[in-house]
Amino acid sequence: MAGAAPHVIVFANEKGGTGKSTTAVHSAVALTAAGRRVLALDLDTRQRTLGRYLDNRAATIRRLGTDLPMPGYATFDPAKGETIEAQLDRLSEGVEVVVIDTPGRDDPHARAAMLRADTLVTPINDSFVDLDLIGEVDAETYRVRRPSFYSELVWNSRTQRAKEHGASVDWVVLRNRLQHVDARNKRRVGQALEELARRVGFRIIPGLGERVIYRELFPKGLTLLDLAQLGEVAVSHVAARQELREMVAGLGVPEARQEAERDRSAALAGA
């Protein structure tokens, strides 16, 4: 299936602090570890969290002389005069999955990337503060009153992509920092999200829990898949790794490699 377009996953949320870059980089590494050819692209030229995370990972690989799953990666710089569309086309040759991390603000290049998304992932913390980004909730009943500006933005992007490319967008809302107890706030946020999902059209999947380990991994560029490099491993690390695996499975990325093999086999059979 030479020349086939990669599956593009865009992590986007105009609010910072939702774990967007952490989930993006973990997803890119997990998909690489699963045998995919992955490109990770950082659109936040100023903050560059995903890019710096993978810089640290590359340095750790060189320092330890070890072999860790490592996606290709780049940082988009509009000052160089190349559009995001052109850079995607140039860098994604031979790539199966592209993971794009966007800035935590309204950004024209992020909007352009959303038009290329096959899967759009919006991480939110499990709180009404973050939920307000995609829907307004009544203060008394906790029922959703209306979708918010961001939901309208995504709707417009999905409509435009369908018109221009005839392709649908799988919108996934990722519940990060889920509480590990059945608290009232957790249930109320969940109910409001389910109501919004029916009205606006997105899927809800669990993300990554609130764990100190994620902040400790950044300087070395390690992920929860690199337990052999972490030294002493606690039960919480193993549980967090399972969270990561379930999150990546929930993204629903097609089995691009298997599809390619089937197409090649079919081509040989017909030759």
- The pLDDT of residue 238 is above 70: yes
CA separation (Å) from 137 to 132, 144, 162? 7, 4, 29
Token digits for 24?
């993006």
In a domain, 220, yes or no: yes
pLDDT digits (tens, 9 = 90+) for 92-141: 999 999 999 999 998 999 999 999 999 999 999 888 888 898 999 988 88
pLDDT digits (tens, 9 = 90+) for 240-260: 899 999 999 999 998 744 444
CB 100 within 8 A of CB 43: yes
In a domain, 121, yes or no: yes
Bridge partner residues of 172 (DSSP): 121, 203
In a domain, 59, yes or no: yes
The domain tally of the chain equals: 1
- 229 — pLDDT class (breaks 50, 70, 90): confident
CATH code for the domain of 177:
3.40.50.300
In a domain, 264, yes or no: yes
Please state the φ and ψ torsions of residue 94, each to the nearest 5 degrees.
80, 5
* SS3 (DSSP) at 63: helix
In a domain, 256, yes or no: yes
| Distance of alpha carbon 150 from alpha carbon 146, whole angstroms | 11
DSSP 130: H
Please state the φ and ψ torsions of residue 3, each to the nearest 5 degrees.
80, 0
In a domain, 132, yes or no: yes
In a domain, 1, yes or no: no
| Distance of alpha carbon 125 from alpha carbon 221, whole angstroms | 23
In a domain, 162, yes or no: yes
Burial of 102 (0-12, 13-18, 19+ CB in 10 A): buried
C-beta atoms surrounding 42 within 10 Å: 26
Give the residue-averaged pLDDT of 162-166.
Answer: 85
Bridge partner residues of 125 (DSSP): 176
Token digits for 137?
């909730």
Q: Closest Cα partner for 136 from 150, 126, 118, 124? A: 150
Bridge partner residues of 171 (DSSP): 120
Domain that holds residue 44: 7-270
Q: Which residues contact 79 (CB under 8 A, 6 or more apart)?
A: 45
Please report the pLDDT score of residue 257 as a whole number: 43
Give the residue-averaged pLDDT of 225-230.
Answer: 84
Q: Closest Cα partner for 94 from 210, 4, 189, 184? A: 4
